[in-house]
Structure 1
Amino acid sequence: MPKATQAEVDKYKSKLPELLPPDQTEDAKAKRKKLFTDWDPNGNKKLSLAEVDLGLRQMQLHKVFRKPVIIRAFNAAKGVSNRKGSSDDYIDRSEFRLLCSYLLRYFELYNMFDEIDDSDDDRINYDEFERSLPLLKKWGIDIKNPRKVFDEIDANGGGYILFDEFSEWALKKKLTMDK
């Protein structure tokens, strides 16, 4: 599936916290409860990765939520609950708020990653990384030794930074577009 255009991303960016409410207000809880029920077609009170993906498709969010975002958010949220009957393979209702939070956070990280990835090949080479230094500074990190940092982020040593590697690093560094 083709990536969302910047206009499509911008259209949804401000609406996402309302559509996937991570807050702990009564209104947000009620919206999440309905959303969870809508995404749980078989009523088993747990969501698989496929059900989360389908739920986002039904909300017309599949173009802005790329697969890597959904997978990272799902894996970060699943199994967090220590409730009896919870599973490391599914999201239960007690983990759903976290899933919404993670979807929003990984959405932001993917957009940062995508902004650096000039070639749109879903990986960042060293030249792209080096050109992104002013952007990274704007987002909250001033890099003095780009080669060293690039090699640290490129955990598998493949010569490219993949989204998983970038997001793990960005979370540790607390990068945000809103600095």
Structure 2
Amino acid sequence: MRAYKAADTSQDGFVDFKEFGRLIDLLHYYNNLFQIFKKLDIDNDRRINFNEFKKGYELMGINVNSSKELQSKFDEIDTNRGGYILFDEFCTHAAKVKLISEIPQDAKEAQETQEN
């Protein structure tokens, strides 16, 4: 749904021929993000808890100086303060930090719109 809304630049509820190419790019982009998210979501509950987040950092070989620093990063991504990182929050963060280098412009704009 996120890809569809971002591709519908005319905001008429339909994806026309001009917008269709963008939709395909966005579907690919969000699918890539979802694959990363699934790898982090060890217990498959469609959300990332702090322990899964910590393991993800360890698997990626990212050195974090302290648990407090890691908790701070987790809290930054967990914008609804639910104690879990949801896919929507993950996508917003991924766009900010350019987790995937090929972010379609529409995806970036959609992220910025949802943040405001």
> Do both share a fold (TM > 0.5)?
yes
The one-letter code of the counterpart of 2:12 is D
- CA RMSD between the two structures: 2.0
User: Which one of 67, 76, 85 corresponds to residue 152 of structure 1?
Assistant: 76
Q: Which has the higher helix share?
A: 2
Residue 132 of structure 1 corresponds to: 56
Q: How many residues align?
A: 98
Where do residues 60-71 of structure 1 align in structure 2 (5 Å cutoff)? Answer: 71=1
Does 2:96 correspond to 1:172? Answer: yes
The CA distance in 2 between the partners of 1:155 and 1:114, in whole Å, is: 19
Residue 112 of structure 2 corresponds to: none
Cα deviation for residue 135 of structure 1 reads 4.0
> Is the radius of gyration larger for structure 1 or structure 2?
1
The one-letter code of the counterpart of 2:91 is S
The CA distance in 2 between the partners of 1:136 and 1:174, in whole Å, is: 16
- Structure 2's unaligned 5+ residue stretches are 102-116
Where do residues 12-161 of structure 1 align in structure 2 (5 Å cutoff)? Answer: 71-78=1-8, 80-81=9-10, 87-136=11-60, 145-161=69-85
Give the alignment's TM-score, normalised by structure 2.
Answer: 0.75
Q: Percent sequence identity over matched residues? A: 43
Structure 1 pair 176–143 and aligned structure 2 pair: CA distance change class (3 A) = farther
Query: Which has the higher relative contact order, 1 or 2, with Cα contacts under 8 A spaced 6 or more apart?
Result: 2
Structure 1 pair 121–106 and aligned structure 2 pair: CA distance change class (3 A) = same
The CA distance in 2 between the partners of 1:143 and 1:75, in whole Å, is: 36
Is residue 143–residue 149 contact of structure 1 (8 Å, CA) maintained in 2?
no
